[in-house]
Structure 1
Amino acid sequence: TGPLMQTDYTTAKNWIPDLGHWDTIVFLSSMMFAFAGLEVAPMIAGRTRNPQRDFPRAMAVSAAVIVGIYMVGTWALNTLLPAGKTDIVAGVMQAMHAAADTLHMPWLIPVMAICMFFGALGQINSWLVGPIYMLQEASREDNLLGDRIGKLHPVWKTPAFALTVQAIIVTVLCFSTFISPSVAAAYWILTALTPITYILPYLVMFPAFWRLRKTQPDTPRSFKIPGKVLPAILPALGFLSIAFAVALLFIPPSQIDMGGYFQY
Protein backbone atom coordinates (compact mmCIF):
# COMPACT_ATOMS: atom_id res chain seq x y z
CA THR A 1 0.00 0.00 0.00
CA GLY A 2 1.19 3.49 -0.82
CA PRO A 3 0.41 6.93 0.55
CA LEU A 4 -2.92 8.56 -0.08
CA MET A 5 -3.18 10.89 -3.06
CA GLN A 6 -2.35 14.43 -1.91
CA THR A 7 -4.85 16.10 -4.26
CA ASP A 8 -8.51 15.17 -4.09
CA TYR A 9 -9.64 14.41 -7.65
CA THR A 10 -13.16 13.47 -6.60
CA THR A 11 -14.18 17.14 -6.64
CA ALA A 12 -14.79 19.05 -9.86
CA LYS A 13 -12.72 22.08 -8.78
CA ASN A 14 -9.52 20.05 -9.04
CA TRP A 15 -10.34 18.97 -12.60
CA ILE A 16 -11.81 22.15 -14.09
CA PRO A 17 -9.75 25.38 -13.95
CA ASP A 18 -11.29 28.56 -12.60
CA LEU A 19 -12.10 30.56 -15.72
CA GLY A 20 -13.90 33.33 -13.87
CA HIS A 21 -10.80 35.50 -13.44
CA TRP A 22 -8.14 36.30 -16.04
CA ASP A 23 -5.32 36.23 -13.51
CA THR A 24 -5.93 32.55 -12.79
CA ILE A 25 -5.37 31.31 -16.36
CA VAL A 26 -2.24 33.23 -17.33
CA PHE A 27 -0.25 29.99 -17.22
CA LEU A 28 -2.18 28.89 -20.31
CA SER A 29 0.28 30.91 -22.39
CA SER A 30 3.18 28.77 -21.19
CA MET A 31 1.28 25.64 -22.18
CA MET A 32 0.54 27.09 -25.62
CA PHE A 33 4.26 27.76 -25.96
CA ALA A 34 4.80 23.98 -25.93
CA PHE A 35 3.01 23.77 -29.29
CA ALA A 36 5.39 26.26 -30.93
CA GLY A 37 7.66 25.16 -33.73
CA LEU A 38 5.46 25.48 -36.81
CA GLU A 39 8.19 27.41 -38.60
CA VAL A 40 10.34 24.26 -38.65
CA ALA A 41 7.78 22.35 -40.74
CA PRO A 42 8.83 23.79 -44.15
CA MET A 43 12.36 22.52 -43.55
CA ILE A 44 11.04 18.97 -43.12
CA ALA A 45 8.31 18.97 -45.77
CA GLY A 46 10.71 18.50 -48.65
CA ARG A 47 12.11 15.34 -47.05
CA THR A 48 8.73 13.76 -46.35
CA ARG A 49 7.45 11.10 -48.73
CA ASN A 50 3.84 12.26 -48.68
CA PRO A 51 3.57 15.54 -46.72
CA GLN A 52 -0.02 16.14 -47.84
CA ARG A 53 -1.03 12.98 -46.00
CA ASP A 54 1.58 12.73 -43.25
CA PHE A 55 1.61 16.34 -41.98
CA PRO A 56 -1.95 16.38 -40.60
CA ARG A 57 -1.34 13.03 -38.95
CA ALA A 58 1.95 14.17 -37.45
CA MET A 59 0.43 17.38 -36.08
CA ALA A 60 -2.51 15.49 -34.56
CA VAL A 61 -0.22 12.93 -32.94
CA SER A 62 2.20 15.56 -31.63
CA ALA A 63 -0.64 17.65 -30.19
CA ALA A 64 -2.06 14.60 -28.41
CA VAL A 65 1.38 13.65 -27.07
CA ILE A 66 2.07 17.17 -25.77
CA VAL A 67 -1.30 17.39 -24.03
CA GLY A 68 -0.82 13.88 -22.62
CA ILE A 69 2.62 14.69 -21.24
CA TYR A 70 1.31 17.82 -19.54
CA MET A 71 -1.64 15.94 -18.06
CA VAL A 72 0.41 12.98 -16.82
CA GLY A 73 3.12 15.25 -15.43
CA THR A 74 0.60 17.46 -13.62
CA TRP A 75 -1.26 14.43 -12.28
CA ALA A 76 1.99 12.89 -10.99
CA LEU A 77 3.02 16.18 -9.36
CA ASN A 78 -0.34 16.65 -7.67
CA THR A 79 -0.33 13.04 -6.51
CA LEU A 80 2.77 13.74 -4.44
CA LEU A 81 1.92 17.32 -3.43
CA PRO A 82 -1.32 19.18 -2.71
CA ALA A 83 -2.24 21.29 -5.74
CA GLY A 84 -2.49 24.49 -3.71
CA LYS A 85 0.94 24.11 -2.09
CA THR A 86 3.08 23.47 -5.17
CA ASP A 87 5.76 26.13 -5.62
CA ILE A 88 6.07 27.54 -9.14
CA VAL A 89 9.88 27.64 -8.94
CA ALA A 90 10.74 24.47 -7.02
CA GLY A 91 7.61 22.38 -7.63
CA VAL A 92 9.45 19.59 -9.44
CA MET A 93 12.10 19.32 -6.73
CA GLN A 94 9.34 19.38 -4.10
CA ALA A 95 7.82 16.37 -5.82
CA MET A 96 11.23 14.68 -5.96
CA HIS A 97 11.67 15.21 -2.21
CA ALA A 98 8.21 13.77 -1.54
CA ALA A 99 8.91 10.75 -3.77
CA ALA A 100 12.32 10.16 -2.19
CA ASP A 101 10.84 10.31 1.31
CA THR A 102 8.04 7.92 0.38
CA LEU A 103 10.39 5.42 -1.28
CA HIS A 104 13.10 5.86 1.39
CA MET A 105 15.59 6.71 -1.35
CA PRO A 106 17.28 10.00 -0.35
CA TRP A 107 20.01 9.48 -2.95
CA LEU A 108 17.36 10.04 -5.65
CA ILE A 109 17.25 13.80 -4.98
CA PRO A 110 20.81 14.72 -6.10
CA VAL A 111 20.53 12.34 -9.07
CA MET A 112 17.37 14.05 -10.32
CA ALA A 113 18.87 17.49 -9.63
CA ILE A 114 21.90 16.64 -11.79
CA CYS A 115 19.63 15.33 -14.58
CA MET A 116 17.57 18.54 -14.47
CA PHE A 117 20.77 20.60 -14.56
CA PHE A 118 22.03 18.92 -17.73
CA GLY A 119 18.58 19.17 -19.29
CA ALA A 120 18.46 22.90 -18.58
CA LEU A 121 22.02 23.30 -19.89
CA GLY A 122 21.01 21.72 -23.18
CA GLN A 123 18.02 24.03 -23.45
CA ILE A 124 20.19 27.08 -22.78
CA ASN A 125 22.66 26.08 -25.48
CA SER A 126 19.94 25.56 -28.08
CA TRP A 127 18.07 28.76 -27.18
CA LEU A 128 21.14 31.00 -27.01
CA VAL A 129 23.24 29.68 -29.87
CA GLY A 130 20.59 28.61 -32.39
CA PRO A 131 18.87 31.99 -32.96
CA ILE A 132 22.21 33.79 -33.17
CA TYR A 133 23.36 31.55 -36.01
CA MET A 134 20.04 32.15 -37.78
CA LEU A 135 20.57 35.93 -37.51
CA GLN A 136 24.15 35.54 -38.67
CA GLU A 137 23.11 33.60 -41.77
CA ALA A 138 20.35 36.10 -42.62
CA SER A 139 22.69 39.04 -42.13
CA ARG A 140 25.49 37.40 -44.10
CA GLU A 141 23.31 36.68 -47.14
CA ASP A 142 21.10 39.79 -47.24
CA ASN A 143 22.92 42.17 -44.85
CA LEU A 144 19.69 42.68 -42.93
CA LEU A 145 21.34 43.65 -39.65
CA GLY A 146 24.66 45.01 -40.80
CA ASP A 147 28.09 43.58 -41.52
CA ARG A 148 29.17 43.17 -37.91
CA ILE A 149 26.29 40.84 -37.00
CA GLY A 150 27.21 38.47 -39.82
CA LYS A 151 30.96 38.60 -39.24
CA LEU A 152 32.58 35.43 -37.87
CA HIS A 153 35.44 35.23 -35.38
CA PRO A 154 38.71 34.68 -37.29
CA VAL A 155 39.77 31.78 -35.05
CA TRP A 156 36.63 30.16 -33.61
CA LYS A 157 34.38 30.84 -36.63
CA THR A 158 31.51 31.96 -34.39
CA PRO A 159 29.38 35.14 -34.64
CA ALA A 160 31.32 36.76 -31.80
CA PHE A 161 29.81 40.26 -32.06
CA ALA A 162 26.25 38.92 -32.17
CA LEU A 163 26.93 36.68 -29.16
CA THR A 164 28.38 39.65 -27.27
CA VAL A 165 25.30 41.79 -27.96
CA GLN A 166 23.07 38.92 -26.89
CA ALA A 167 25.08 38.43 -23.68
CA ILE A 168 24.68 42.12 -22.80
CA ILE A 169 20.91 42.04 -23.40
CA VAL A 170 20.47 38.84 -21.38
CA THR A 171 22.59 40.23 -18.54
CA VAL A 172 20.49 43.40 -18.37
CA LEU A 173 17.29 41.34 -18.31
CA CYS A 174 18.66 39.12 -15.54
CA PHE A 175 19.71 42.09 -13.41
CA SER A 176 16.29 43.68 -13.96
CA THR A 177 14.70 40.77 -12.09
CA PHE A 178 16.36 41.99 -8.88
CA ILE A 179 13.56 44.52 -8.45
CA SER A 180 11.04 41.67 -8.31
CA PRO A 181 9.37 41.19 -4.93
CA SER A 182 10.29 37.48 -4.77
CA VAL A 183 12.19 34.70 -6.51
CA ALA A 184 8.91 33.29 -7.80
CA ALA A 185 8.05 36.66 -9.36
CA ALA A 186 11.45 36.90 -11.06
CA TYR A 187 11.12 33.33 -12.32
CA TRP A 188 7.69 34.01 -13.77
CA ILE A 189 8.85 37.21 -15.49
CA LEU A 190 11.65 35.33 -17.24
CA THR A 191 9.23 32.51 -18.04
CA ALA A 192 6.76 34.99 -19.55
CA LEU A 193 9.42 36.76 -21.61
CA THR A 194 10.34 33.52 -23.38
CA PRO A 195 6.92 32.86 -24.99
CA ILE A 196 6.48 36.55 -25.82
CA THR A 197 9.73 36.80 -27.75
CA TYR A 198 9.18 33.47 -29.47
CA ILE A 199 5.52 33.59 -30.49
CA LEU A 200 5.29 37.26 -31.50
CA PRO A 201 6.53 36.45 -35.04
CA TYR A 202 3.52 34.15 -35.38
CA LEU A 203 1.33 37.27 -35.43
CA VAL A 204 3.04 38.10 -38.72
CA MET A 205 3.33 34.56 -40.02
CA PHE A 206 -0.39 33.75 -40.01
CA PRO A 207 -1.44 36.87 -41.99
CA ALA A 208 1.49 36.21 -44.35
CA PHE A 209 0.19 32.70 -44.95
CA TRP A 210 -3.28 34.02 -45.73
CA ARG A 211 -1.86 36.69 -48.05
CA LEU A 212 0.38 34.30 -49.98
CA ARG A 213 -2.38 31.73 -50.31
CA LYS A 214 -4.66 34.41 -51.75
CA THR A 215 -2.18 36.08 -54.10
CA GLN A 216 -0.29 32.94 -55.16
CA PRO A 217 -2.83 30.11 -55.08
CA ASP A 218 -1.13 28.08 -57.83
CA THR A 219 2.39 28.10 -56.38
CA PRO A 220 3.65 24.49 -55.92
CA ARG A 221 3.87 23.62 -52.23
CA SER A 222 4.98 20.47 -50.43
CA PHE A 223 1.96 20.72 -48.15
CA LYS A 224 -1.21 22.62 -48.93
CA ILE A 225 -4.28 23.01 -46.71
CA PRO A 226 -7.15 21.69 -48.84
CA GLY A 227 -10.32 23.60 -49.70
CA LYS A 228 -11.18 27.28 -49.60
CA VAL A 229 -12.67 27.59 -46.12
CA LEU A 230 -9.94 25.97 -44.01
CA PRO A 231 -7.12 28.15 -45.43
CA ALA A 232 -9.06 31.18 -44.20
CA ILE A 233 -10.27 29.79 -40.85
CA LEU A 234 -7.08 28.14 -39.59
CA PRO A 235 -4.77 31.19 -39.85
CA ALA A 236 -7.49 33.35 -38.27
CA LEU A 237 -7.77 30.93 -35.34
CA GLY A 238 -3.99 30.78 -35.05
CA PHE A 239 -3.67 34.57 -35.06
CA LEU A 240 -6.38 35.01 -32.42
CA SER A 241 -4.91 32.27 -30.23
CA ILE A 242 -1.43 33.81 -30.31
CA ALA A 243 -2.80 37.31 -29.65
CA PHE A 244 -4.78 35.93 -26.69
CA ALA A 245 -1.70 34.13 -25.33
CA VAL A 246 0.44 37.28 -25.56
CA ALA A 247 -2.25 39.39 -23.89
CA LEU A 248 -2.52 36.90 -21.01
CA LEU A 249 1.19 37.24 -20.27
CA PHE A 250 0.70 40.93 -19.43
CA ILE A 251 -1.71 40.02 -16.61
CA PRO A 252 -0.02 39.32 -13.23
CA PRO A 253 -0.87 35.79 -12.04
CA SER A 254 -2.98 35.58 -8.91
CA GLN A 255 -0.80 32.80 -7.48
CA ILE A 256 2.32 35.02 -7.29
CA ASP A 257 2.90 38.38 -5.64
CA MET A 258 4.14 40.51 -8.54
CA GLY A 259 4.08 43.81 -6.66
CA GLY A 260 1.09 45.25 -8.54
CA TYR A 261 0.22 45.87 -12.18
CA PHE A 262 2.56 48.85 -12.63
CA GLN A 263 5.66 47.05 -11.38
CA TYR A 264 4.78 43.95 -13.40
Structure 2
Amino acid sequence: MKRRMNLRPMPSVCAIIGLVVIGALTGCATSSKSPAVKRESDTGRIAAAKKAPATQRPYKINGIWYYPLASAHGYRQQGIASWYGKDFHGKKTSCGETYNMYGISAAHKTLPMGTHVEVRNMENGNAIRLTINDRGPFVAGRIIDLSYAAAQKIGVARPGTARVVVTAIGTSAPRRTPHRYDTLPDELDRGNFSIQVGAFGDRDKAMKLAQALNQTYKDAQVLPTYSPRNQQTLYRVVVGKCTSLKTAETYENALKSRGFRDAFAIAQ
Protein backbone atom coordinates (compact mmCIF):
# COMPACT_ATOMS: atom_id res chain seq x y z
CA MET A 1 0.00 0.00 0.00
CA LYS A 2 1.19 3.49 -0.74
CA ARG A 3 0.65 6.31 1.69
CA ARG A 4 1.49 9.95 1.13
CA MET A 5 4.48 11.67 2.59
CA ASN A 6 5.78 15.24 2.51
CA LEU A 7 8.95 15.59 0.45
CA ARG A 8 11.69 18.11 1.04
CA PRO A 9 14.34 19.00 -1.54
CA MET A 10 17.87 17.57 -1.16
CA PRO A 11 20.34 20.33 -0.28
CA SER A 12 23.35 21.22 -2.35
CA VAL A 13 26.52 19.23 -1.74
CA CYS A 14 27.99 22.47 -0.41
CA ALA A 15 25.80 22.03 2.70
CA ILE A 16 28.07 19.23 3.86
CA ILE A 17 30.91 21.59 4.80
CA GLY A 18 29.32 22.31 8.18
CA LEU A 19 29.13 18.66 9.22
CA VAL A 20 32.57 18.23 10.79
CA VAL A 21 31.07 17.72 14.23
CA ILE A 22 29.30 14.56 13.14
CA GLY A 23 32.57 12.84 12.29
CA ALA A 24 33.45 12.80 15.97
CA LEU A 25 30.62 10.41 16.83
CA THR A 26 31.88 7.29 18.55
CA GLY A 27 31.33 3.90 16.95
CA CYS A 28 31.81 5.12 13.36
CA ALA A 29 35.13 4.41 11.68
CA THR A 30 36.67 6.22 8.73
CA SER A 31 39.24 5.39 6.09
CA SER A 32 41.37 7.41 3.72
CA LYS A 33 40.16 5.66 0.60
CA SER A 34 38.43 7.72 -2.07
CA PRO A 35 34.88 6.77 -3.08
CA ALA A 36 34.68 4.48 -6.05
CA VAL A 37 32.07 2.49 -7.91
CA LYS A 38 33.03 -1.13 -8.39
CA ARG A 39 31.58 -1.38 -11.83
CA GLU A 40 32.74 -4.97 -12.26
CA SER A 41 30.27 -5.95 -9.53
CA ASP A 42 27.26 -4.48 -11.34
CA THR A 43 26.58 -7.69 -13.25
CA GLY A 44 26.30 -9.71 -10.07
CA ARG A 45 24.09 -7.12 -8.39
CA ILE A 46 21.77 -6.97 -11.39
CA ALA A 47 21.49 -10.76 -11.59
CA ALA A 48 20.73 -10.99 -7.86
CA ALA A 49 18.10 -8.24 -8.06
CA LYS A 50 16.31 -9.93 -10.95
CA LYS A 51 16.08 -13.19 -9.00
CA ALA A 52 14.87 -11.55 -5.79
CA PRO A 53 11.18 -11.80 -4.83
CA ALA A 54 9.15 -8.74 -5.82
CA THR A 55 8.86 -7.63 -2.18
CA GLN A 56 12.67 -7.64 -1.84
CA ARG A 57 13.39 -5.40 -4.81
CA PRO A 58 14.12 -1.66 -4.54
CA TYR A 59 10.94 0.41 -4.94
CA LYS A 60 10.11 4.08 -5.34
CA ILE A 61 7.37 5.99 -3.49
CA ASN A 62 6.82 9.73 -4.05
CA GLY A 63 10.26 10.13 -5.56
CA ILE A 64 12.16 8.31 -2.79
CA TRP A 65 13.85 4.93 -3.28
CA TYR A 66 13.66 2.26 -0.57
CA TYR A 67 15.92 -0.81 -0.35
CA PRO A 68 14.54 -3.84 1.53
CA LEU A 69 17.01 -5.45 3.93
CA ALA A 70 18.37 -8.85 2.89
CA SER A 71 17.84 -10.10 6.44
CA ALA A 72 16.14 -8.84 9.59
CA HIS A 73 18.66 -10.59 11.83
CA GLY A 74 20.03 -8.08 14.33
CA TYR A 75 17.41 -5.43 13.56
CA ARG A 76 16.35 -3.08 16.34
CA GLN A 77 15.11 0.50 15.98
CA GLN A 78 13.44 3.21 18.03
CA GLY A 79 11.04 5.65 16.46
CA ILE A 80 7.43 6.69 15.95
CA ALA A 81 4.69 4.13 15.30
CA SER A 82 1.35 4.99 13.70
CA TRP A 83 -1.62 2.88 12.57
CA TYR A 84 -3.82 2.52 9.50
CA GLY A 85 -7.45 1.48 9.31
CA LYS A 86 -10.64 1.59 7.28
CA ASP A 87 -9.22 3.34 4.20
CA PHE A 88 -7.13 0.20 3.58
CA HIS A 89 -9.33 -2.47 5.16
CA GLY A 90 -10.06 -5.27 2.67
CA LYS A 91 -7.38 -4.15 0.19
CA LYS A 92 -4.30 -6.11 -0.81
CA THR A 93 -1.12 -5.63 1.17
CA SER A 94 2.30 -5.51 -0.47
CA CYS A 95 2.78 -9.25 0.03
CA GLY A 96 -0.59 -10.09 -1.53
CA GLU A 97 -2.56 -10.76 1.64
CA THR A 98 -5.85 -8.97 2.34
CA TYR A 99 -5.43 -6.27 4.96
CA ASN A 100 -7.60 -6.76 8.03
CA MET A 101 -7.57 -3.75 10.34
CA TYR A 102 -8.97 -5.97 13.12
CA GLY A 103 -6.17 -8.49 12.74
CA ILE A 104 -2.64 -8.26 14.16
CA SER A 105 -0.07 -7.16 11.57
CA ALA A 106 2.12 -4.23 10.56
CA ALA A 107 3.75 -2.42 7.65
CA HIS A 108 7.45 -1.55 7.45
CA LYS A 109 9.47 0.16 4.71
CA THR A 110 12.45 -2.20 4.55
CA LEU A 111 12.10 -5.30 6.74
CA PRO A 112 11.59 -8.53 4.74
CA MET A 113 8.01 -9.72 4.46
CA GLY A 114 7.27 -12.38 7.07
CA THR A 115 9.57 -10.85 9.68
CA HIS A 116 8.28 -11.38 13.22
CA VAL A 117 8.85 -8.35 15.42
CA GLU A 118 8.14 -7.21 18.93
CA VAL A 119 6.80 -3.65 19.14
CA ARG A 120 7.07 -2.07 22.58
CA ASN A 121 5.35 1.21 23.43
CA MET A 122 8.06 3.19 25.24
CA GLU A 123 5.45 5.45 26.83
CA ASN A 124 3.51 2.76 28.72
CA GLY A 125 5.65 -0.41 28.45
CA ASN A 126 2.97 -2.40 26.56
CA ALA A 127 4.29 -4.77 23.89
CA ILE A 128 2.93 -6.94 21.10
CA ARG A 129 4.44 -9.47 18.71
CA LEU A 130 3.29 -9.48 15.11
CA THR A 131 4.34 -10.13 11.51
CA ILE A 132 5.29 -7.65 8.79
CA ASN A 133 3.05 -8.12 5.73
CA ASP A 134 2.94 -4.68 4.12
CA ARG A 135 5.05 -1.66 3.13
CA GLY A 136 4.85 1.71 4.86
CA PRO A 137 4.45 4.14 6.54
CA PHE A 138 5.65 6.67 3.95
CA VAL A 139 5.52 9.61 6.32
CA ALA A 140 8.70 11.31 7.51
CA GLY A 141 9.75 10.29 11.01
CA ARG A 142 7.61 7.14 11.30
CA ILE A 143 9.16 3.67 11.34
CA ILE A 144 6.19 1.25 11.50
CA ASP A 145 2.46 1.27 10.71
CA LEU A 146 0.39 -1.00 12.96
CA SER A 147 -2.99 -2.52 12.17
CA TYR A 148 -5.79 -0.88 14.15
CA ALA A 149 -6.16 -3.89 16.46
CA ALA A 150 -2.42 -4.02 17.16
CA ALA A 151 -2.37 -0.30 17.87
CA GLN A 152 -5.24 -0.71 20.33
CA LYS A 153 -3.45 -3.43 22.27
CA ILE A 154 -0.39 -1.32 23.06
CA GLY A 155 -2.08 2.06 23.44
CA VAL A 156 -1.26 3.68 20.09
CA ALA A 157 -4.77 3.86 18.59
CA ARG A 158 -6.16 6.73 20.69
CA PRO A 159 -3.21 9.16 20.45
CA GLY A 160 -2.56 8.07 16.83
CA THR A 161 1.20 7.81 17.24
CA ALA A 162 3.64 6.77 19.96
CA ARG A 163 7.35 6.24 20.42
CA VAL A 164 8.22 2.54 20.18
CA VAL A 165 11.14 0.16 19.87
CA VAL A 166 10.88 -2.46 17.13
CA THR A 167 12.94 -5.64 17.58
CA ALA A 168 13.17 -8.49 15.05
CA ILE A 169 12.62 -11.83 16.80
CA GLY A 170 12.28 -14.23 13.88
CA THR A 171 11.11 -14.77 10.34
CA SER A 172 8.97 -17.05 8.22
CA ALA A 173 8.28 -17.48 4.53
CA PRO A 174 5.80 -19.53 2.44
CA ARG A 175 6.63 -23.26 2.40
CA ARG A 176 9.51 -22.72 4.84
CA THR A 177 9.86 -23.60 8.49
CA PRO A 178 9.59 -20.49 10.70
CA HIS A 179 12.96 -19.49 12.09
CA ARG A 180 13.48 -17.82 15.44
CA TYR A 181 16.59 -15.74 15.93
CA ASP A 182 18.84 -16.91 18.74
CA THR A 183 20.28 -13.41 19.29
CA LEU A 184 19.29 -11.90 22.62
CA PRO A 185 17.30 -8.62 22.40
CA ASP A 186 20.02 -6.59 24.13
CA GLU A 187 22.51 -7.71 21.46
CA LEU A 188 20.39 -6.72 18.47
CA ASP A 189 21.82 -3.21 18.39
CA ARG A 190 25.14 -4.60 17.15
CA GLY A 191 26.09 -4.96 13.51
CA ASN A 192 27.41 -2.98 10.56
CA PHE A 193 25.48 0.17 9.70
CA SER A 194 25.86 3.18 7.42
CA ILE A 195 23.70 6.18 6.53
CA GLN A 196 22.30 6.61 3.04
CA VAL A 197 22.31 10.26 1.98
CA GLY A 198 21.01 10.03 -1.59
CA ALA A 199 20.33 7.83 -4.62
CA PHE A 200 20.82 8.86 -8.25
CA GLY A 201 20.31 7.46 -11.71
CA ASP A 202 23.28 9.54 -12.82
CA ARG A 203 26.60 8.08 -11.64
CA ASP A 204 28.40 11.43 -11.97
CA LYS A 205 25.95 13.16 -9.60
CA ALA A 206 26.41 10.40 -7.06
CA MET A 207 30.19 10.67 -7.35
CA LYS A 208 30.11 14.46 -6.84
CA LEU A 209 28.09 14.11 -3.65
CA ALA A 210 30.34 11.30 -2.39
CA GLN A 211 33.45 13.34 -3.12
CA ALA A 212 32.02 16.31 -1.19
CA LEU A 213 31.18 14.06 1.76
CA ASN A 214 34.58 12.41 1.49
CA GLN A 215 36.35 15.72 2.12
CA THR A 216 35.03 15.57 5.68
CA TYR A 217 34.55 11.88 6.50
CA LYS A 218 36.95 9.96 4.22
CA ASP A 219 34.48 7.05 4.13
CA ALA A 220 31.74 8.07 1.67
CA GLN A 221 30.88 5.38 -0.88
CA VAL A 222 28.83 5.00 -4.03
CA LEU A 223 27.01 1.68 -4.18
CA PRO A 224 25.37 0.64 -7.49
CA THR A 225 22.02 -1.12 -7.07
CA TYR A 226 19.95 -2.44 -9.96
CA SER A 227 16.26 -1.48 -10.08
CA PRO A 228 14.21 -4.14 -11.92
CA ARG A 229 11.19 -1.81 -12.00
CA ASN A 230 12.95 0.87 -14.04
CA GLN A 231 15.51 -1.51 -15.53
CA GLN A 232 18.37 0.77 -14.56
CA THR A 233 21.19 0.98 -12.05
CA LEU A 234 20.80 3.44 -9.18
CA TYR A 235 23.87 4.84 -7.46
CA ARG A 236 23.37 5.09 -3.70
CA VAL A 237 25.58 7.44 -1.69
CA VAL A 238 26.29 6.19 1.84
CA VAL A 239 28.55 7.49 4.60
CA GLY A 240 29.64 6.22 7.99
CA LYS A 241 30.80 2.81 9.22
CA CYS A 242 29.07 2.15 12.51
CA THR A 243 29.02 -0.97 14.67
CA SER A 244 25.90 0.08 16.59
CA LEU A 245 22.43 0.93 15.30
CA LYS A 246 22.07 3.48 18.11
CA THR A 247 25.21 5.27 16.92
CA ALA A 248 24.03 5.12 13.31
CA GLU A 249 20.70 6.69 14.31
CA THR A 250 22.56 9.51 16.08
CA TYR A 251 24.63 9.99 12.94
CA GLU A 252 21.42 10.00 10.86
CA ASN A 253 19.76 12.63 13.05
CA ALA A 254 22.85 14.84 12.88
CA LEU A 255 22.84 14.67 9.07
CA LYS A 256 19.13 15.53 9.00
CA SER A 257 19.70 18.50 11.29
CA ARG A 258 22.27 19.82 8.78
CA GLY A 259 19.82 19.69 5.86
CA PHE A 260 19.98 16.09 4.59
CA ARG A 261 16.37 15.36 5.52
CA ASP A 262 16.17 12.09 3.57
CA ALA A 263 19.18 10.51 5.30
CA PHE A 264 18.44 7.19 6.97
CA ALA A 265 20.42 4.39 8.63
CA ILE A 266 20.85 1.14 6.74
CA ALA A 267 22.23 -2.28 7.70
CA GLN A 268 25.15 -3.48 5.59
* TM-score bucket of the superposed structures, by smaller chain: under 0.3
Greater share of residues in strand: 2
- TM-score, normalised to structure 2's length? 0.24
Q: Which has the higher helix share?
A: 1
TM score, norm. by length of structure 1: 0.25
